[in-house]
Amino acid sequence: MIPTWMGGDLVAVEKLEVHRRGLRHKAVSVFVLCGDRVLLQRRALGKYHTPGLWANTCCTHPHWGEDPADCARRRLDEELGITGLRLRYRDRVEYRADVGGGLIEHEVVDIFTAVVASPIPVQPNPDEVMEVEWCAMEELRARIAAEPSRFTPWLRIYLEEHRAQIFA
Give the domain ranges of the chain: 2-167
- Whether residue 6 is predicted with pLDDT greater than 90 in this model: the reply is no
Q: How confident is the model at residue 1 (pLDDT cuts 50, 70, 90)?
A: confident
CATH match for 2-167 among 3.40.109.10, 3.90.79.10, 1.10.10.10, 3.40.720.10: 3.90.79.10
- pLDDT for 67-114, tens place per residue? 999 999 999 999 999 999 999 999 999 999 999 999 999 999 999 999
**Hey, which bits of 21-127 come out as E strands?**
24-34, 37-43, 54-55, 58-60, 88-100, 103-115
Contact 44, 127 (CB under 8 A): yes
Beta bridge mates, 31: 113
Beta bridge mates, 97: 105
- Whether residue 168 is predicted with pLDDT greater than 90 in this model: the reply is no
CA distance 112 to 166: 8
Quick one: average pLDDT of 8-20? 90
Contact 39, 22 (CB under 8 A): no
pTM (predicted TM-score): 0.95
What percent of the chain lies above the pLDDT cut of 70? Answer: 100
58 assigned to active site = no
Q: Catalytic pick from 17, 78, 107, 160?
A: 107
Q: 38 phi and psi, to 5 degrees?
A: -120, 140
79 assigned to active site = no
Query: How confident is the model at residue 77, as a pLDDT?
Result: 98
CA distance 68 to 3: 12
Q: Catalytic pick from 58, 59, 71, 105?
A: 59
Quick one: average pLDDT of 16-45? 96
Cβ neighbours, 10 Å, residue 10: 11
